[in-house]
Structure 1
């Protein structure tokens, strides 16, 4: 029997957890659904990643209001994907912050990504009628910038490409806590359809060099303690290197994309098959890894039509 397309059959509600991972630092997680996070400072807050719709973003706001009544001054976007950004309008923040590269990617492929992700995972777009349009960053940077919430510094950094070419992380020096977005996942598959797989491990090395005491990952449980953060970084590295290695070998052997899919399963299913959204991600991941190993550096734009054509072609 053919698998249901992507996550269209995944309609079960997930349990939300709102946990403190450092002093006045919180992770909003939901059993493998996209995470958000909250950084509270002296005079306001930052929300890191905005959810897919304003209706879902309001669930984040509800949790914020259980710990502080300070204003949400900034929404920081780790990258451009629709499930991370389209809820930003709910926060009524004074600034939406992202890398300049993320701004470029919204312009280049934001609408296609919205249409694509809506088709792949409808449950994550609850209240989609509340989305006012594409989310455009109002404050962008290259390299690094700091936001101060009173005395608390929040360093936003481009440490390298990985999940996308525009990824940023947030580092809170006084607590030694990292907010990684989808550069790190924990017991959840990495989505690699727009990835730069050869660069991703080096970016993970940069994150590891901070020795974070806690990490709010893109998906999966919040990570507390040096042993757990290093495990998650290593697990993510293993995932992306296993994926790219299988594709690189397939291309070298002259295999077709579908043959590469089978070879990738041999390498990855046993280790990662139990991870959240693994089956959803795998065809997109194999397609991107095969392209990159074939010399296509810039990820090909996904559209709702291309999604379904690729999915059908790679099923057994």
Structure 2
């Protein structure tokens, strides 16, 4: 890994957790740039949107849910396949684990490698990793849209397009005009783009924007209440993604290598985004993916612990 390690391996400070109501009986569990979870409560039960990284960490979500409702957790919805989002699902004892068909495919193709890679990169996000029973497998999947009836409340799950991954879904609560976006939207947090479709992501954001949400539970960063701040977050996410991809596209067109592309991306991105949560953690992975996509590699290459180290050596080396 060379003398200097990934920024994320030294990030060990505990984050302050906030559990706030962002719409009637809809809550956001946020933690200063760590992965968020959303909770949607209906007459018959609850949906948990994104599960946390370990059952032990999911129990922290459950504790807070029990401060606002004693209704059963019926469904865990996975916005995408990343380990930090899904490996805590077993703690909820839900009757269904819901994801897009594409997310199910990605778990088959790269779920184990992703787990190994993420755990190696960012150990703090896997508190009590021994409590993870294995990969999380969706039990209910859908192609483009599915509605869950929670009793007097319908929740629309939609695959609006690729972005953070090829399988991302959002949850829309029509009666409250609230959107759970997963990592398609971040707020004052860097987007992790290592498995992204950077050209398509802004178009998927346009689809979200058409809903004009009154509140958004983003993937990372504070809960967003009010249309002006939700629009700001969508615009900020779009700016991050397009700045990253644009700088890489220009570098590749000039024949630059990966190390040179990282330097060029920093020139564009550091002044705007270096204060964002996990910016340094994500940067090498983000530029690697942008470099690949701009070079014509349409589907993200699978990250493994070995590939992580090779990429890092390339960027640090000559």
Q: TM-score range by the shorter chain?
A: over 0.9
| 1:262-295 Cα distance to aligned partner (Å, 9 max, x none) | 0000000000000000001000000000000000
Matches of 2:148 and 2:135, distance apart in 1: 24
Aligned match of 2:33: 32
SS at 1:12 equivalent:
coil
Instruction: Note if 1:285 corresponds to 2:286.
Output: yes
Native 8 Å contact 1:49 1:77 kept in 2: yes
Aligned match of 2:213: 212
Aligned match of 1:120: 121
| 1:195-244 Cα distance to aligned partner (Å, 9 max, x none) | 00000000000000000000000000000000000000000000000000
Aligned match of 2:73: 72
- C-alpha deviation, 1:2, in angstroms: 5.6
Deviates more, 1:6-15 or 1:133-142: 6-15
Aligned match of 1:239: 240
Matches of 2:312 and 2:139, distance apart in 1: 35
Matches of 1:47 and 1:209, distance apart in 2: 24
Matches of 1:252 and 1:114, distance apart in 2: 33
Matches of 2:198 and 2:183, distance apart in 1: 13
SS at 2:242 equivalent:
helix
SS at 1:260 equivalent:
helix
Aligned match of 1:223: 224
| 1:11-44 Cα distance to aligned partner (Å, 9 max, x none) | 1100000000000000000000000010000010
- C-alpha deviation, 1:315, in angstroms: 2.7
Alignment: residue pair count: 316
Question: Which residues in structure 2 correspond to 1:173-192 (within 5 Å)?
Answer: 173-192=174-193
Matches of 2:6 and 2:14, distance apart in 1: 19
Matches of 1:295 and 1:272, distance apart in 2: 26
Aligned match of 2:5: 4
- C-alpha deviation, 1:6, in angstroms: 3.7
Question: Which residues in structure 2 correspond to 1:91-170 (within 5 Å)?
Answer: 91-170=92-171
TM-aligned CA distance change 1:2 to 1:188, over 3 Å: farther
| 1:165-190 Cα distance to aligned partner (Å, 9 max, x none) | 00000000000000000000000000
Gaps of 5+ in 2: none
- C-alpha deviation, 1:3, in angstroms: 4.0
Native 8 Å contact 1:5 1:308 kept in 2: no
Matches of 1:29 and 1:2, distance apart in 2: 33
Matches of 2:193 and 2:268, distance apart in 1: 16
Native 8 Å contact 1:213 1:224 kept in 2: yes
SS at 1:180 equivalent:
strand
Aligned match of 2:85: 84
SS at 1:258 equivalent:
helix
